[in-house]
C-alpha cells in the first residue's frame, strides 16, 4: 500500500469511528473501503455493548411494531379466481334473500327480548355492511395455538366485529384468550379487544369483538393467552392467532 | 447452527419476527442504552432500529455478513443519525443508568456467542489504548474531545488510536472489501 493509500484508509477509518459526531465528515456512501470499516465497527459492537434486559413496556412497543410490519408484509393468500361473473344473478338473489331474512329475524327476536345468537349477529353484520373486512386467522407461534382456523369480520363504519374459531384448544380456569387490535392510526400498544374462552375446540365458536377504544385503521387482530382477569398491555408471550390485512 | 431468521422476517412471518426480536432485543437495548443520552431516547432509538430492520430485511445478503452483523450495522447507522440530528451532548449525561439490568441468556444464542467471542478475541489483540478509544467511541458514542478529556490524552492521539485500532481490527476480523450490494 502506498503512502497515499495508507493516509486515505486512515481518514476513512477515522470518519467511521467518529461518524456520530455532528461536525465530523460523513464516511463516503458507496465506498467499498468505508463499508468494510463500517462492517468492522458493527462486528466490534457485538462485544463492546453488553446486552441489557429490555423493559417490559418497550418489548410491548417493539412487538406491536413487529405485528404492524407483519400485517403489511404477511403471507398473502393469492386471490382466488372469481366465479361471480358466471353465476352472479342467482348468488346475489340468494345473498339478498338471506340478508332480508336475517334482518327480519333479528327485528322479531329483539322485540321478544330473546338474546340473538352471536353467530346470527355476525351473519347480519355481513349482510348489512358491504364494507366489512374479512380476514383469515393464521396460527401464532405459541404451542397453545392448537390447530386454530377461522376468521375475523370487522365493520369500520359500525365499529362492530366477530371472531370465529375452530380448533383453538380450551384453556385452564386461570387463563383467558384476549384479543388485541393493532390500529394503524394509533401510536403505542394495541387496543384491548376483550377476553373470551373456548369451550369446545371441535365446534365453531363465534365471539364478539369488544374494542375498548374506537378503531381507526385496523392493521391486525392478535389473540394472546393471558391471566383470567386480562392485562392492560400484553407481553405477547403466547400469541395463538393473527389475522392481518 | 442457529437458524438465520432474516429471510422469513422479510416475508413477514410473525413467528420469525418474534424470534428475531427475542434473540436480539437485549443486545440492541444494551447498545442504545450506552449510546443515548437518556432511557427515553434509548427506547425510541431501539424502536427505530427494529422498524428499520423489518423494512430492510429483504435486502439482507448473506455475503455481507451474519444476521447479527446486519443488525448491528443498522443499529449503528440509526444511532449515528440520531446523534448527528441531536447535536453534541454534555459528557455528564453519558453515564450509564445504574438501574439497567444485565440480560439473561437467550436460548438460541449459540451463534451470537461465537460472534461475541470472535470480536472479543480480536479486540483483546489491540493495544489497550486503542481498545479503550474504540470502546468509548463505537460502544458509547463519545466524541473525540470527550475521550481526550476522559482519559487525559491529546486529541490527535485519540484520533490516531481510533483509526489505527479500527484498521488493525479489520485485519484481525478478516473483513475484506465490501461490495455495494446488500445493505446500502
Q: How far is CA A141 from the centre of its chain?
A: 13
In a domain, residue B100? The reply is: no
Q: Which three cell numbers stand for residue B19?
A: 424470534
Query: Any idea where the domains of chain A sit in the sequence?
Result: 3-52, 59-76+131-244
Q: Residue A1 has what pLDDT?
A: 59
A140 contact residues in B (CB cutoff 8 A): 14-15
pLDDT of residue B126: 95
Greater confidence, A5 or B41? B41
The SS3 assignment for A60 reads helix
- Give Cα A51 to chain centroid, integer Å: 28
Q: What's the mean pLDDT in B84-93?
A: 60
pLDDT of residue A195: 95
* Residue of A16, A14, A42 whose CA lies nearest to B173: A42
C-alpha cell at B130: 486503542
Q: What is the Cα–Cα distance from B15 to A240, expressed in whole angstroms?
A: 10
CA distance B13 to B175: 31
Helix (H) or strand (E) holding A100: helix A84-112
Taking a C-beta distance cutoff of 8 angstroms, is the pair A134, A127 a contact? no
> In 3D, which of B72, B84, B158 has the Cα closest to residue A25?
B84
Q: What per-residue confidence (pLDDT) applies to A110?
A: 44
Q: Which of A40, A67, A72 sits opposite B169 (nearest CB)?
A: A40
pLDDT at residue A152 tops 90: yes
Q: Which domain holds residue B13?
A: 1-90
B164 within domain boundaries:
yes
- Is pLDDT above 50 for B12? yes
pLDDT computed for residue A140 by the predictor: 83
Cβ proximity of A245 and A67 under 8 Å: no
**C-beta of residue B7 within 8 angstroms of C-beta of residue A131:** no
**Same domain, residue pair B2 and B82:** yes
Q: Do the domain assignments include residue B106? A: no
Please give the tally of structural domains in chain B.
Answer: 2
Give the whole-angstrom CA distance, residue A242 versus residue A220.
7
Q: A7-29: per-residue pLDDT in tens? A: 889 999 999 999 999 888 888 77
Q: Which of A19, A22, A43, A70 to mutate to test the interface with B (most CBs of B within 10 A)?
A: A43
Would you say residue B112 has pLDDT above 80?
A: no
Give contacts of A 161-200 with B, CB under 8 A: none
Whether residue A66 and residue B18 make contact (CB cut-off 8 A), yes or no, is yes
| Best mutation target, A18, A72, A137, to test chain B (most B CBs within 10 A) | A18
Residue B36 lies in a domain: yes
Say whether A13 and B112 touch across the interface (CB within 8 A).
no
Q: Taking CB atoms and an 8 Å cutoff, what residues of chain B touch A148?
A: none
CATH class of the domain comprising A59-76+131-244 = mainly beta
Confidence category of residue B176, pLDDT binned at 50, 70, 90: confident
Provide CB contacts within 8 A for A56, sequence distance 6+: A233, A235
pLDDT in tens, A59-103: 878 887 887 788 776 543 332 222 323 333 333 333 334 444 444
Which domain-ending residue is among B40, B56, B90?
B90
Q: Is the dihedral of CA B106, B107, B112, B118 positive or negative?
A: positive
* Phi, psi at A241, each rounded to 5°: -155, 145
What is the per-residue pLDDT for B73? Answer: 93
Judgement on whether residues B51 and B83 belong to the same structural domain of the protein: yes
Distance CA(A228)–CA(A62), nearest Å, equals 24
Share of chain B above pLDDT 70, in %: 82
Which residues 6+ apart lie within 8 Å of B144 measured at CB?
A18, A21, B137, B155, B158, B159, B162
Count of CB atoms within 10 A of residue B156's CB? 10
% of chain B beyond a pLDDT of 90: 59
Q: The domain spanning residue B125 has which CATH number?
A: 1.10.10.10
3-state per-residue secondary structure call for chain B: CCCCCHHHHHCCCHHHHHHHHHHHHHHHHHHHHHHCCCHHHHHHHHHHHHHHHHHHHHHCCCCCCCHHHHHHHHHHHHHHHHHHHHCCCCHHHHCCCCCCCECCCCCCCHHHHHHHHHHHHHHHCCCHHHHHHHHHHHHCCCCHHHHHHHHCCCHHHHHHHHHHHHHHHHHHHCCCCCCCCCCC
Burial class (CB in 10 A: 0-12, 13-18, 19+), A149: middle
Q: Is the pLDDT of residue B161 over 70?
A: yes
pLDDT greater at residue A127 or residue A83: A127
Mean pLDDT of chain A: 79
Mark which residues 46-75 of A lie under 8 Å from B by CB.
46-55, 58-59, 61-63, 65-67, 69-70, 72-75
**Dist CA A124 CA A118 (whole Å):** 10
The secondary structure of residue A143, as a DSSP letter, is G
Residues 6+ apart with CB under 8 A from B46: A54, A58, A62, B25, B28, B29, B32
CATH code of the domain containing B74: 1.10.1740.10
* Shortest Cα–Cα distance, B164 to chain A (Å): 7
Instruction: Select from A115, A156, A139 the least CA-distant residue to A222.
Output: A139
What single-letter DSSP state applies at residue A140? -
Residues B2 and B39 in one domain: yes
Amino acid at each position: 500500500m502506498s503512502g497515499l493509500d495508507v493516509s486515505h484508509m486512515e481518514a476513512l477509518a477515522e470518519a467511521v469511528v467518529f461518524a456520530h459526531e455532528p461536525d465530523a465528515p460523513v464516511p463516503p456512501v458507496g465506498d467499498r473501503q468505508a463499508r468494510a470499516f463500517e462492517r468492522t465497527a458493527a462486528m466490534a459492537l457485538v462485544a463492546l455493548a453488553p446486552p441489557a434486559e429490555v423493559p417490559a413496556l418497550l418489548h410491548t412497543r417493539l412487538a406491536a411494531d413487529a405485528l404492524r410490519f407483519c400485517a403489511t408484509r404477511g403471507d398473502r393468500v393469492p386471490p382466488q379466481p372469481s366465479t361471480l361473473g358466471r353465476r352472479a344473478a342467482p348468488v346475489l338473489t340468494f345473498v339478498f334473500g338471506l340478508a332480508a331474512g336475517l334482518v327480519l329475524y333479528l327485528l322479531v327476536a329483539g322485540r321478544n327480548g330473546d338474546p340473538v345468537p352471536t353467530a346470527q349477529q355476525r351473519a347480519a353484520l355481513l349482510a348489512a355492511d358491504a364494507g366489512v373486512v374479512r380476514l383469515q386467522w393464521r396460527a401464532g407461534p405459541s404451542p397453545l395455538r392448537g390447530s386454530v382456523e377461522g376468521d375475523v369480520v370487522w365493520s369500520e363504519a359500525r365499529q362492530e366485529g366477530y371472531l370465529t374459531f375452530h380448533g383453538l384448544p380450551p384453556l385452564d380456569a386461570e387463563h383467558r384468550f384476549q384479543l388485541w387490535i393493532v390500529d394503524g392510526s394509533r401510536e403505542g400498544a394495541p387496543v384491548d379487544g376483550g377476553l373470551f374462552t373456548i369451550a369446545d375446540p371441535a365446534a365453531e365458536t363465534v365471539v364478539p369483538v369488544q374494542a375498548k377504544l374506537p378503531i381507526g385503521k385496523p392493521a391486525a387482530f392478535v389473540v394472546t393467552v393471558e391471566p383470567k382477569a386480562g392485562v392492560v398491555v400484553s407481553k405477547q408471550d403466547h400469541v395463538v392467532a393473527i389475522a392481518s390485512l | 447452527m442457529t437458524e438465520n431468521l432474516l429471510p422469513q422476517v422479510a416475508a413477514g412471518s410473525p413467528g420469525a419476527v418474534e424470534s428475531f426480536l427475542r434473540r436480539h432485543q437485549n443486545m440492541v437495548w444494551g447498545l442504545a442504552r450506552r449510546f443515548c443520552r437518556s432511557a427515553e431516547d434509548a427506547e425510541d432509538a431501539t424502536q427505530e432500529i427494529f422498524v428499520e430492520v423489518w423494512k430492510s430485511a429483504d435486502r439482507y445478503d448473506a455475503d455481507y455478513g451474519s444476521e447479527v452483523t446486519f443488525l448491528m450495522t443498522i443499529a449503528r447507522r440509526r444511532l449515528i443519525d440520531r446523534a448527528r440530528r441531536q447535536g453534541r451532548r454534555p459528557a455528564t449525561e453519558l453515564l450509564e443508568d445504574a438501574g439497567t439490568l444485565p440480560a439473561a441468556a437467550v436460548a438460541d444464542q449459540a451463534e451470537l456467542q461465537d460472534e461475541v467471542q470472535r470480536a472479543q478475541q480480536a479486540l483483546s489483540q489491540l493495544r489497550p489504548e486503542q481498545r479503550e478509544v474504540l470502546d468509548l467511541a463505537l460502544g458509547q458514542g463519545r466524541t473525540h474531545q470527550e475521550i481526550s478529556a476522559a482519559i487525559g490524552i491529546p486529541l490527535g492521539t485519540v484520533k490516531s488510536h481510533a483509526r489505527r485500532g479500527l484498521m488493525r481490527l479489520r485485519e484481525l476480523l478478516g473483513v475484506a472489501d465490501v461490495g455495494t450490494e446488500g445493505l446500502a
